[in-house]
Chain A
Amino acid sequence: MNFSKKNHEHITKNSNSMSKTIKLLIVVALFVGFASCSDDDDDPTPLVEVKSESIVNLHAPVEGGSQQGAPTFSGEFTKFDFATGTTTTSDTEWDIAFRGLSIIVNGGTSAGAVDEPERTKEASGYITSGTLASVTEVNTSLLKEDSNEGYVLGDWYTYAGDPTHLINPTPGKILVVKTRTGNYAKMEILSYYKDAPAEPDAFTDESPYFTFNYVYQPNDGVTTF
């Protein structure tokens, strides 16, 4: 596996992102605290706690993108499974997949890119404005599958252009996903560069390495976080 997975129960040994991890842990702890409180107050039936996780350096290499006229990207997508919180090579048991700037869901039809995996399930998603904490409920009417009109999770970044050429995850874009099993997850992408540097440099920092926070709702059909 080419990325390290961390959640609030484990302390990572990855010294590179140690301070970042601590920051994330605080944020994560806050979510968990918030989520568990409301669970206690509102709902007598014991539900499984939502999982707040951080993924660091999910490598999503892309080939091609030649400098000539019509670049064609190729290469295998890196697939991700929310339930286990890991990448997977399974042809069917994945929720979303990454390659370069592209993020696809396991549902719908291909937009025609080379080497896209076959979508075997009915995962869907949408992008909304907010912070990871402020998105507390899924608006199921917005959920869409990928189609020939584009990827539903495509518009997550801003290209800075000259002179920095940086790819920055657009602040306030929260990706909401209905997984292949019908559970819900919300995620915020934090960085496109290896080790999520605070001051990335598009010329020296390696990409694409996704770092993101997400919250997974393991209870079937529950649309709140």
Chain B
Amino acid sequence: MSKKHIFTLLSLFFTFLVSSQEENPTTKDSVKIENLEEIIVTATRTFRQLSSLPLPAQIISQKDIQRSNSVRLNNILNEQTGLITIPDFGGSKGIQMQGLDGAYTLILVDGVPLVGRLAGTLDISRITVGNIKQIEVVRGASSSLYGSEALGGVINIITETPKNGFHGNLNYRISSFNTHDLGTTLSYKKDKLGISTFFNRYSSDGYSLTDRNELSTVDPFRNYTINPKLTYKFSNRTDLIVAGKYYNQKQDYVASSLLKGETKIEDWNTHIKLNNKYSDTWSSYFEFYATQYNANEYLDDANSTSATDAFYKQLLVRPEIRATYNPNDKSSFIAGTGFNNETLDRTDFSEKPVYNSPYAYLQYDGNPTENINIILGARFDGHSEYKSQFSPKVALRYGVNDKLALKGSIGYGFKAPDFRQLYFNFTNATIGYTLLGYNAAPDAIKALDEQGQLAIISISLDQFDSELKPENSVSIDLGFDYKISTTLKLDLNLFRNNIDDLIDNKIVATKTNGQSVFSYFNINKVYTQGSEFNITWRPDNQLKITGGYQLLYAKDKDAEKAFKNGEVFARVDASSPSFQLKKDDYFGLFNRSRHMANLKVFYNIPEWNMDTNIRGTYRSKYGLNDKNGNSYLDSYDDFVDGYAIVNVAVNKTIYKNYRLGLGIDNIFDFTDPQNIGNIPGRILYAKLNIQL
């Protein structure tokens, strides 16, 4: 397909999105919808038809986000097959994908990454969905294009760009727990110039799942997002996008009745992109991106004396240039090179570390025959602080006939050791243990030893001579798309991620106070495997039913061996004699459910200008703690029971430009105060949308 066609499709798609918002539901245009192709950029960094990709990928449309009345990114992602929000111990909500933790999924906004992974997880609840055009999800390791963090996959949030004329909208949603979400977009475009501004304010009183004491599960917070954008078309060949974002959140921080304080997050970024088309075959992009994430947290005691005061300040600067070359209709090349400069200033760090990482990548995307599409890609990431990485990827699609296509891909993914794992130098004031980053460890251990604080050094210090390896994975995806009829289609994907060199801490020394000194090493090998299945039935323009299911096995390889060799024991209760466990008693990694499913029904009632939907998600039992102390999750540990959440929404358009939404999230009021902190119970809401 030629680039021209792609652009035509793309603009058609945009038009569709725009018109679908203002769509008069009485017009019967089901055929038109079926024929429009969805375009995805995340999978190849070029505009590609979603249905022709050799990779497992998905688009969540603005229409579905709006119909679901979602507010934050975690709300909508939670309803997708195999995706689930998992809060880490700091409360950051990360997304688990293909059984990999939130730390192993790259989160992009318009193709550039967000930073601020305090403990590895990026808190996706800090992203509002108010100005999202679509969310693109690519599953499987994708470091061949994106470098670090793209092990489980990539989630790319595509935001709105200004469209011709003056547009504006205002959204307001009020919901339980005194939660308010207010958003507005104003945009203007004429001739060469387009300007838009998005503003969002989100606040809540938080909630408390237990009434045992005055501590809340989620403390009151409020945040603001401002997102201005400017587009300028110099000529038919050259255009410029300048975008910025500012985010500010304040949240109460109550540690006990005596210790109170506040958490403050400030996040900004600048993104400049200059596109230039030299000829029908050549074009280039110059991109400059800078982002900073600041977090401050303090606690004061009853006398207003400072008890703790912590800060975290991360800055990423990235210039990148890339070129695309389309010699003919059948093949396209993309090549890029760039440089990451990253600094962090943080409490309890041995120094103010700087990461410098130049990189380059190359990708071929071609159709040697009409039925075959092949993607070959590779990327090299040099690095100042850890081992350089080479990340290849191969993907192949074979169209058997109009209805059936087979897809397969294999790729490499890695996650750079984070600053904490390299530079932490932290001693717990109350207990007395010490945690050291890998690069900080040799000097810190020597210093502790000279101060006479160490009783035993249990490893030899030259173990720190070689560089810490990034956590890495080889992922394989195999599947098919099957279009049974124009109204019914399904897809299946089998996946396996072999993850190696996982970084964990282990004891390196014992202090004279009896406590341990820990440092980080490449220790574990795990795998996740399973299948993702989706089915969509759309008998007419009024009804859409989708179902999804993921089967997952996520296990540690050494744990599997230990169980097989009969080295693992358990007790029936805390003080009964131990007995040997069998191979089948190993459940797998913590916080992984074997089964996850979703079912969504969207229904339009054009006569009443209404649409309604019901969305349910289910996850089966999972383990959070090793209760019996053998360090593994086995069938004698306690499990969190499986649960289902059902959400309903009704929306009605009045006077063409007003849209009113009412709904209930978690209609059956499911909560599990002991185990699940991020499910607050039933939420009632009302929403008003005004198109100006």
B514 / chain A contacts, CB cutoff of 8 Å: 71, 73, 113
A172 near B630 with CB under 8 A, answer yes
B558 / chain A contacts, CB cutoff of 8 Å: none
B629 near A158 with CB under 8 A, answer yes
A132 to B430 CA separation, bound complex (whole angstroms)? 37
Interface size class of A (residues with CB under 8 A): 35 or more
- Choose from A20, A27, A73, A150 the contact partner of B510 (Cβ within 8 Å): A150
Interface check A69, CB cutoff 8 A: yes
B628 near A168 with CB under 8 A, answer yes
A20 near B511 with CB under 8 A, answer no
Chain B contact residues, majority secondary structure: loop
B577 near A188 with CB under 8 A, answer yes
Interface check A15, CB cutoff 8 A: no
A190 near B575 with CB under 8 A, answer yes
B569 near A131 with CB under 8 A, answer yes
A27 to B430 CA separation, bound complex (whole angstroms)? 41
- Choose from A129, A169, A196 the contact partner of B629 (Cβ within 8 Å): A169
Q: Which residues of A approach B to under 8 Å, CB–CB?
A: 20, 23, 27, 67-73, 111-113, 129-132, 134, 148-150, 157-158, 160, 162, 164, 166, 168-173, 188, 190-191, 193, 196-200, 211, 213
Digit string of B452-463 for contact with A (CB within 8 Å is 1, else 0)?
A: 010110000000
B513 near A71 with CB under 8 A, answer yes
CB distance from B305 to the nearest CB of A (A): 17
CB distance from B435 to the nearest CB of A (A): 13
Assuming the A-B contacts A70-B512, A71-B513, are A171 and B574 also in contact, with contact meaning beta carbons closer than 8 angstroms in the complex?
no
Report the number of A-B residue pairs with Cβ-Cβ less than 8 Å.
95
Top 4 A-B pairs, shortest CB-CB distance: A172-B569, A168-B629, A196-B575, A158-B629
A190 to B597 CA separation, bound complex (whole angstroms)? 41
B455 near A70 with CB under 8 A, answer no
CB distance from B569 to the nearest CB of A (A): 3
B579 near A131 with CB under 8 A, answer yes
A166 / chain B contacts, CB cutoff of 8 Å: 574
Q: Which residues of B approach A to under 8 Å, CB–CB?
A: 89, 427, 429-430, 432, 453, 455-456, 510-515, 567-571, 573-580, 625-626, 628-631
A20 / chain B contacts, CB cutoff of 8 Å: 575
A193 to B573 CA separation, bound complex (whole angstroms)? 13
CB distance from A167 to the nearest CB of B (A): 9
A146 to B571 CA separation, bound complex (whole angstroms)? 29
A41 to B430 CA separation, bound complex (whole angstroms)? 58
A23 to B573 CA separation, bound complex (whole angstroms)? 12
Residue of B nearest to A195 (CB): B575
B513 near A69 with CB under 8 A, answer yes
Assuming the A-B contacts A70-B513, A71-B514, A150-B456, are A170 and B629 also in contact, with contact meaning beta carbons closer than 8 angstroms in the complex?
yes
A22 to B573 CA separation, bound complex (whole angstroms)? 15
CB distance from B418 to the nearest CB of A (A): 21
B513 / chain A contacts, CB cutoff of 8 Å: 69-72
A-B contact pairs, 6 of them (CB 8 A): A67-B430, A148-B456, A164-B625, A171-B570, A191-B575, A199-B574
- Choose from B430, B512, B576, B579 the contact partner of A190 (Cβ within 8 Å): B576
A198 / chain B contacts, CB cutoff of 8 Å: 573-576
A69 to B453 CA separation, bound complex (whole angstroms)? 11
With contacts A69-B427, A170-B629, A196-B574 known, what are 7 further pairs, Cβ within 8 A?
A70-B512, A130-B569, A130-B580, A157-B629, A160-B625, A171-B630, A198-B576
A213 / chain B contacts, CB cutoff of 8 Å: 577
Residue of B nearest to A198 (CB): B573
B574 / chain A contacts, CB cutoff of 8 Å: 166, 168, 191, 196-200
A72 to B512 CA separation, bound complex (whole angstroms)? 8
A188 near B578 with CB under 8 A, answer yes
A27 near B575 with CB under 8 A, answer no
B577 near A190 with CB under 8 A, answer yes
A134 to B631 CA separation, bound complex (whole angstroms)? 21
